[in-house]
Amino acid sequence: MGWASMEELRADLVSCRRCPRLAGFRESVPVRAAFRGQDYWRKPVPGFGDLGAGIVVVGLAPAAHGGNRTGRVFTGDASAAFLMKCMHAAGLASKPESLSKDDGLVLKGCYITAAVKCVPPGDRPTREEFQNCAPYLDSELSLLPRVQSIVALGHLAFESITKWAERKGADVKRMEFRHGGSYALANVPTVYACYHPSPRNTNTGKLTAKMMTSLFRKVVEESNRREVRPLQAQSRAARWRKAAKGRTSSGWSGQGRLRPHL
């Protein structure tokens, strides 16, 4: 299964009912008193952000009263508030809050998505539900051609990215979840592990704003460094071609070794 564009993927995704348990749960979540009068989204939730992103942030699944209500992942709940404050501090978001689909939030060089696209009961998707959503995640990542880094939020999102990397032919035997861990693998972007910004982690101090912001700043710095190297290589190759063309037009036969000034 594959899609030619992100628009096609999103159009198919929002009508997906491959997981009866998830479809039934997302549609029956009781409206919280604080949101009485609002129309809940109650569909699979696509990713959002910069389609030229160098960084992808992957969570587990939409929250019952966050993405499942607003229709945008990491929007309108406590985890979203903590995450966006840290992303804004690291220069990845235009504002430090994520409230609704029409709040004007713009991600800079970053795209956010989830391993599972529907809210699961108890925040626990089954193995089959992960597998059913894997084609969407795989296609999202393949449709983001400039990605240098992937940040997995929480152990289960990290496991999903590990399995994705394995499907791409990477050797994942040494990958293990620990906050701040990074894994440079063949065939895929560098993977970073981060604690999930859930209230149970942030309210207990297991994950602080300083910890998450520092990790995002590190990811930005290292992603930019990796992006510069291919551009430098392309620039050197262009200079070689220009020098070779000049030698050929002046009578150089192409024999021997060309040594342009780089």
pLDDT reading at 261 higher than 80: no
Which pLDDT score is estimated for 242? 53
| Cα 216 to Cα 222: distance, rounded to the nearest angstrom | 10
pLDDT reading at 160 higher than 90: yes
| Top-confidence residue, 262 or 19 | 19
6-229, what's its fold?
Uracil-DNA Glycosylase, subunit E (3.40.470)
pLDDT reading at 245 higher than 70: no
Mention every residue, 6+ apart, whose C-beta is less than 8 A from residue 154: 59, 60, 194, 195, 196, 198
Comparing CA positions, the residue from 11, 136, 124 lying closest to residue 64 is: 124
| Cα 120 to Cα 143: distance, rounded to the nearest angstrom | 26
pLDDT reading at 220 higher than 70: yes
| Cα 98 to Cα 84: distance, rounded to the nearest angstrom | 6
| Cα 7 to Cα 136: distance, rounded to the nearest angstrom | 12
Q: How confident is the model at residue 226 (pLDDT cuts 50, 70, 90)?
A: confident
Domain-wise residue ranges, the chain: 6-229
